[in-house]
């Protein structure tokens, strides 16, 4: 603020307070019953009662408060006030307090492994906050996902549900690519697959269709989805036998998948979140699954003939 405007503000502010006080004291005189001396219509007179005491005192206190405030805090033009308070400094202080609290919260969790963190209500609360800020946009606030975005609360994992697999997924991201492989197939081959794959988990499926489909599957799809159709956690190829669909299921959904292909990207968080944040959010995700898969189960299961479950 230029000196002129600073002076302007000071003069106006202090002048107003002085004017209020002058008005107050100028009207404080008078006594009950005394009149101002004005007379209207021959006998109408105006009393000159003093201001009520409480009102008068309140006004004096308010004025004193105003002056005190202007002396201590910035308010008078360029004068900074005796306390030297600024709003940026206050903000910095609040931020510092929050950062310190955050550090302490994470420090309290240091050295705990992810299953232990998943049991810890404090860690889960922290992890949930990280999740809501960064992950809920794609996976949903309830982590139950949507078409193309996996549900993180069930026991069906594309890349594995062990603590290590979850941390790796979050840290480095993942890319799932299903080629539009159906385009190159004969109509019969496609037909055999579409009569089978969408109904894999259905025990009532016609055994002849199952057999024909299985044969075609072994030729075209098994390299990625596994001979047993249970998926491949290295590629993120989903289990096709459990009737849990990342994209649309049913004949139309599977047809769309094999004709158009699918591509999904889970972003990498290593440059966005700190390792501590990744650990607590991984623990939160780990805590959501009903039966977290022990690390050994992430290895490909031995091939079993696909019979009715
Ligand atoms: C831009 C959208 C997006 C955001 C944001 C996102 N994800 Fe994902 N996430 C995906 C997609 C898509 C996949 C599936 C990738 C695939 O199919 O190959 C995925 C997969 C995963 C998986 C693997 C699931 C499995 O079955 O193996 C985990 C775990 C996961 N995300 C956790 C998180 C966490 C934790 C965050 C927040 C730090 C997060 N995601 C943020 C889109 C997202
Ligand atoms: C090159 C490896 C590869 C081959 C070959 C392949 N898939 Fe896939 N498939 C994937 C991957 C990876 C995904 C997950 C894509 C994603 O996350 O976006 C997938 C997804 C799917 C899905 C979606 C599953 C869901 O839960 O919605 C279906 C259905 C599917 N594949 C069927 C097939 C069939 C049928 C064949 C054979 C004709 C086949 N795939 C061949 C890698 C493959």
pLDDT of 1: 84
257 in contact with ligand 2, CB cutoff 6 A: yes
Query: What is the rounded CA–CA span in Å between residue 284 and residue 125?
Result: 8
Give the CATH H-level superfamily of domain 115-298.
Cytochrome c-like domain (1.10.760.10)
Query: What is the rounded CA–CA span in Å between residue 125 and residue 140?
Result: 17
pLDDT tier at 268, thresholds 50, 70, 90: very high
The pLDDT tens digits of the residues spanning 212-225 come to 999 999 999 999 99
Question: What is the CB-side half-sphere exposure of residue 280 using CA atoms within 13 A?
Answer: 25
% of the chain exceeding 90 in pLDDT: 76
Query: What is the rounded CA–CA span in Å between residue 232 and residue 238?
Result: 7
Report, in angstroms and rounded to the nearest whole number, the Rg of the chain calculated over CA atoms: 38
- Between the alpha carbon of residue 111 and those of residues 26, 116, 277, the distances in Å are 74, 10, 14
Candidate from 214, 237, 261, 264 with most ligand 2 atoms within 8 A of CB, to mutate: 237
Query: What is the rounded CA–CA span in Å between residue 74 and residue 135?
Result: 43
For 165-181, what is the mean pLDDT? Answer: 96
What does the domain layout of the chain look like in residue ranges? 3-72, 115-298
pLDDT tier at 300, thresholds 50, 70, 90: low
For 178-200, what is the mean pLDDT? Answer: 96
Quick one: which atom of ligand 1 is closest to the CA of 177? 18
pLDDT of 256: 96
The pLDDT tens digits of the residues spanning 5-22 come to 999 999 999 999 999 999
Q: Is 13 left (phi over 0), alpha (psi -120 to 50) or beta?
A: alpha
CA 77 – ligand 1 centroid, Å: 54
- Is a pLDDT exceeding 60 seen at residue 205? yes
- Is a pLDDT exceeding 50 seen at residue 308? no
């Amino acid at each position: 603020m230029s000196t002129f405007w600073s002076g302007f503000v000071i003069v106006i502010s202090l002048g107003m307070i002085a004017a209020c006080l002058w008005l107050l004291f100028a009207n404080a005189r008078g006594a009950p019953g005394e009149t101002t001396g004005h007379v209207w219509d021959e006998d109408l007179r105006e009393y000159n009662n003093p201001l009520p005491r409480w009102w008068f005192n309140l006004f004096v206190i308010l004025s004193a408060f105003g002056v005190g405030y202007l002396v201590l805090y910035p308010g008078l033009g360029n004068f900074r006030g005796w306390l030297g308070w600024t709003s940026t400094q206050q903000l910095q202080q609040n931020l510092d307090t929050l950062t310190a609290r955050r550090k302490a919260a994470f420090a309290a969790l240091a050295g705990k492994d992810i299953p232990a963190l998943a049991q810890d209500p404090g860690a889960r609360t922290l992890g949930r906050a990280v999740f809501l800020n960064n992950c809920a946009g794609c996976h949903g606030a309830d982590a139950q996902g949507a078409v193309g975005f996996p549900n993180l609360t069930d026991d069906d994992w594309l890349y594995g549900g062990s603590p290590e697999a979850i941390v790796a997924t979050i840290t480095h991201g993942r890319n799932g690519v299903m080629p539009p492989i159906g385009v190159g197939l004969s109509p019969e081959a496609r037909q055999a697959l579409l009569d089978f794959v969408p109904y894999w988990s259905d025990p009532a499926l016609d055994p002849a269709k199952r057999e024909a489909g299985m044969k075609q599957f072994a030729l075209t799809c098994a390299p990625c989805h596994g001979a047993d159709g249970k998926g491949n956690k290295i590629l993120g190829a989903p289990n096709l036998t459990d009737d849990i669909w990342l994209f649309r299921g049913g004949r139309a959904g599977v047809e769309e998948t094999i004709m158009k292909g699918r591509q999904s990207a889970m972003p990498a968080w290593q440059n966005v979140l700190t390792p501590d944040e990744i650990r607590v959010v991984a623990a939160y995700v780990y805590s959501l699954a009903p039966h977290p898969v022990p690390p050994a189960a992430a290895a490909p299961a031995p091939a079993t003939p696909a019979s009715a479950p």
